[in-house]
């Protein structure tokens, strides 16, 4: 719920590559992952109630990072050409200009998402509080009944 508007904004603002027709499109590669507090978090001592991720998978992962942050140009030394061994030669890899579409989506939706997250965490805390209170009251009542039976 909290991350859905951010994901939609990222998908709509993701650049589309019409030059290389390799079937890899950024807008199709983004996913949401929500991890609620679980036993692994409790055992590790984490105080985290919930974690949310917007991420890419597969071939688009390295490409998304390069589009978002850019890359400096560099020279690479190769020793193969079309799958055949050759004498070593240098290849100049051109720089890539940064196109920050993910960060702008996060910044645009940050205040609303933060408030929504606060509301959801507050609900979770209330749920835990009510559960713990119910358990504590049950234990107190059980002990009161037990002590009442022991009175002379």
Percent of the chain with pLDDT over 90: 18
Provide the pLDDT for residue 62. Answer: 79
Provide mean pLDDT across the span 114-122.
87
pLDDT tens per residue across span 19-76: 666 666 788 888 888 887 777 777 787 777 777 888 887 778 878 888 889 989 999 9
Provide the pLDDT for residue 23. Answer: 66
* Structural element, H or E, at residue 144: helix 102-150
Distance CA 18, CA 5 (A): 26
Provide mean pLDDT across the span 134-151.
87
Provide the pLDDT for residue 91. Answer: 92
Q: Is the pLDDT of residue 146 over 80?
A: yes
Q: Is the pLDDT of residue 85 over 90?
A: yes
Task: Supply the mean pLDDT for the chain.
Answer: 85
Provide mean pLDDT across the span 13-17.
81
Distance CA 62, CA 110 (A): 25
Determine which of 42-46, 89-93, 115-119 has the lowest per-residue pLDDT on average.
42-46
45-76: burial string, b at 16+ Cβ within 10 Å, e else: eeeeeeeeebebeeebeebbeebbeeeeeeee
With both helix axes pointing from N to C terminus, report the angle between 4-13 and 102-150 in degrees, rounded to the nearest 10: 160
Percent of the chain with pLDDT over 70: 94
């Amino acid at each position: 719920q909290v991350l859905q508007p951010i994901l939609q904004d990222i998908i709509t603002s993701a650049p589309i590559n019409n030059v290389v027709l390799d079937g890899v499109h950024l807008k199709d590669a983004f996913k949401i992952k929500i991890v609620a507090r679980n036993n692994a978090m409790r055992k590790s001592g984490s105080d985290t109630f919930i974690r949310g991720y917007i991420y890419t998978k597969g071939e688009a992962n390295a490409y998304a990072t390069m589009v978002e942050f850019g890359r400096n140009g560099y020279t690479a030394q190769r020793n193969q050409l079309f799958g055949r061994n050759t004498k070593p030669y240098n290849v100049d890899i051109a720089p890539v200009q940064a196109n920050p579409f993910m960060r702008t989506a996060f910044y645009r939706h940050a205040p609303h998402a933060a408030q929504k997250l606060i509301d959801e965490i507050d609900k979770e805390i209330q749920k835990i509080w009510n559960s713990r209170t119910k358990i504590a009251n049950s234990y107190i009542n059980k002990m009161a009944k037990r002590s009442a039976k022991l009175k002379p």
